[in-house]
Amino acid sequence: MPAIELLAASPATLLGTCLLLGLVVGSFLNVVIYRLPIMLERQWREQCAEFSGSDPAAQTMPAVPSERFDLVTPRSSCPRCNARITALQNIPLVSWVLLGGRCAGCGKEIGVRYPLIEGLTGLLTAAVAWRFGFGWPLVAAMALTRSTLPMLSAAPDASVTFTLDTRANDPRDPQRLPSEG
């Protein structure tokens, strides 16, 4: 029986496959959540330097490193000791549990966010498969679920702050612009 027919005929096989696929995608989403804000910041700094005509290295903020940094390169490593994460140490959820939530190189704790994202993506993917069953609605629901999760997860790391200026509405504020009435 071809794989597609098996997934369509067996809900248990579909749920199990979606769970495993979700764990793997969750592992990749961790890379996206960590690296995308850094990639965007580097790109913005380069664009600002180009627009202002200044040398990126002469900026008051930290210089943009010249080495390649994207979703593929460099390989994943411990942020503390820079030890490379091997393929066996990168199995979604399983490796984190077997390593006791610690780096194999330096023994420092690995954040709980990584297995949470992997597990949540796996469970959400399986839940979507259970709800929609085999078919195109499942594909659409998985795409929506997987595109929303990184946005929600990256928000705390993205050090973007918004300021609410309440003085604009206070008529007693001496710094209020005259044109504001």
> Can you give 20-34 as a three-state secondary structure string?
HHHHHHHHHHHHHHH
| Exposed e or buried b per residue across 111-143, where buried means at least 16 C-beta atoms within 10 angstroms of its C-beta | eeebbebbbbbbebbbbbbeebebeeebeebbe
Task: Convert the pLDDT of each residue in 88-111 to its tens digit.
Answer: 998 989 999 999 999 999 999 988
Where the chain has pLDDT below 70, the residues are 55-66, 153-181
pTM of the model: 0.73
Please tell me the distance from the alpha carbon of residue 29 to that of residue 138, in angstroms, as a whole number. Answer: 19
Encode pLDDT of 44-54 as tens digits: 888 888 888 77
Query: What pLDDT does 115 receive?
Result: 93
